[in-house]
Amino acid sequence: MTAPGPAAPPPHPVLPGAGGAPPVPGPPAEPGVPAGPGVAPPFAAPPTEGGRARLWLGLGVGALAVLLCCGGGGAAIVGLAVSNVQAIEEQGRTVTDDYYQALVEKDWSRAYDRLCDDAQRRESRPEFEQRVAAEPPISGYRVGKVDAQTLTVPVDVTLGGGRQEAQQVTLAADPQTGGMEVCGVS
């Protein structure tokens, strides 16, 4: 004989309202949507109110982002161009000033080091030193404004004895360093 215990579960689940089970309160289930507590539909229903407002707001924000990116990019390009011209002018004045200061101090070797590779190929260091030592000495100079288009610099030179002379320095960019160098004086 077996002892009485809890009843075994029925072999098939009991549907609500069938077989004596109490009905589940709530709205009737839609066809194709599972019913019951805690059951979520397979996807959320799209919002129905304010759909057009959200669309136009999203399009407006996107257009503003594109405008800021394009406008900011254009401003950046202009800023880079301006700063590049300023850098060329500053480097051109500095290298020209260094070159003439070396000539005033009769430091021919330092002046030769300010020359571009092409000028150094045309004239060796000893040839350069011999040539500039034979020219009238430079007692003073004033460097003018660099022309960033032609890479030239006007220099007002005062020679020994007080004679004034206008010279034009031609600059070139060093391919290895990117810095400016003196490539000729006329």
pTM over 0.75: no
Alpha carbon separation from 119 to 92, 113, 114, 179, 182 (Å, rounded): 16, 10, 10, 15, 8
Which of these ranges, 28-37, 79-88, 100-109, has the smallest mean pLDDT?
28-37
Provide the terminal-to-terminal Cα distance of the chain, rounded to the nearest Å: 128
- Per-residue confidence (pLDDT) for residue 160, from 0 to 100: 84
* Helix (H/G/I), strand (E/B), else coil: 166: strand
Give which of 44, 184, 35, 34 is closest to 116, Cα–Cα. 184
Does residue 144 surpass a pLDDT of 80?
A: yes
Residues listed for the chain: 186
Task: Give the H or E element holding residue 68.
Answer: helix 51-104
Percent pLDDT > 70 in the chain is 70
pLDDT band with cut points at 50, 70 and 90 for residue 128: very high
Place of tokens 């805690």: 38
Distance of alpha carbon 162 from the chain centroid: 50
Does residue 62 surpass a pLDDT of 70?
A: yes
Furthest C-alpha separation in the chain? 140
Does residue 59 surpass a pLDDT of 70?
A: yes
| Interval 112-125 mean pLDDT | 94
| Interval 79-98 mean pLDDT | 84
* Helix (H/G/I), strand (E/B), else coil: 26: coil
- Report which DSSP code applies to 162: S
pLDDT band with cut points at 50, 70 and 90 for residue 50: low
Written as six digits, the tokens of 155 are 């220099």
